[in-house]
Amino acid sequence: MIIASNFKTNHTRKSTREFVSKVADFAKNLSVDVRIYPPSSALDCFDLSKNIKIGAQNFYPAQYGSFTGEIGFEQLEEFKIDSLLVGHSERRSILGESNELIKEKFDFAKAKNVEIIFCIGEPQTVWAGGSLAVLDYLWNQLEGIDLKYEKLIIAYEPVWAIGTGRSAPLEEIENTLSFLKEDIDRPLLYGGSVKAENIAEILRLKSCDGVLVGSASWNVENFIEMIKIANEELK
């Protein structure tokens, strides 16, 4: 079971250190797999147990080069980063990343043999069209992605549920994940307004293998509480 925190554009280098140290201390003997994705300015080498990884929210698909403002793979290797978010909806919609660029990033990261949390999710207009429209949209986002890649994790994050406080209904999450599971033999996460109050019921869904959490995870005590609840669910 994977519990991941996406910091987005929050936390400093100093507060990230404090956060990681508290989480590492709490989760070191648990069976839950924890992921933390700080902003790139806060990446560093941390002393962590095997079930905890620090990853990058973004990278440019090049080892190094002239890509002003971007972070290449050499800069990630310096901190032994081996988990990456690819295709987050904020990168797609706010930063204008196309399916083509996202596929390029996926292929690059796969060639580097690192873990990839590949994010997909439909906007509200598509959601309004019903479950077939949603699945059609998601499969389009997955086109060209090697779904057999052994370090691939899929995160289903409906855009309209991100940062809104309104998580998708449980039945819909299960419906979508179970359809994806028919063709994807990799862990499937849900993301979108996950918090301590709803994490247990989401993790209990048959097809859900974990969660990718934004805002509710930025406070370290809240995140630790969610890890604790997830660990209880494993028992």
**Given the rule CB under 6 A, which residues bind ligand 13P?**
6, 88, 157, 162-163, 191-194, 212-216
Q: Which residues are catalytic?
A: 88, 157
- Torsion angles phi and psi, residue 146, rounded to 5: -75, 100
83 Cβ neighbours under 8 A, 6+ residues apart: 35, 37, 53, 54, 55, 56, 114, 115, 116, 117
Report the residue number, 62 or 214, with the smaller CB distance to ligand 13P.
214
Q: CB of residue 90 vs ligand 13P: minimum separation in angstroms?
A: 7
Q: State the nearest-atom distance from the C-beta of 162 to ligand 13P, in Å.
A: 4
Q: Which residues on adjacent β-strands are paired with residue 189?
A: 155, 210
- Main-chain phi, psi angles of 118, to 5 degrees: -95, 120
Q: How far is the CB of 167 from ligand 13P (least distance, A)?
A: 8
The secondary structure of 119-176, three-state, reads: EECCCHHHHCCCHHHHHHHHHHHCCCCCCCCCCEEEEECCHHHCCCCCCCCHHHHHHH
Nearer of residues 55 and 191 to ligand 13P, judged by Cβ: 191
Closer CB to ligand 13P, 85 or 111, in the complex: 85
* Residue closer to ligand 13P (CB basis): 77 or 228: 228
Question: How far apart are CB 52 and ligand 13P at their closest, in Å?
Answer: 18
| CA 51-56-62 angle, 5° bins | 130
Report the residue closest to ligand 13P, judged by CB: 214
What is the pairing mode between strands 115-120 and 83-86? parallel
Question: Please, which residue, 55 or 214, has the CB nearer to ligand 13P?
Answer: 214
Residue labelled with tokens 């509480």: 225
Shortest distance, CB of residue 37 to ligand 13P, whole angstroms?
Answer: 8
- Which residues have C-beta within 8 Å of that of residue 115, sequence separation ≥ 6? 53, 55, 82, 83, 84, 151, 153
- Contact yes or no for 153/116 (Cβ under 8 A): yes
Taking the CB of residue 13, how many other CB atoms lie within 10 A of it?
12
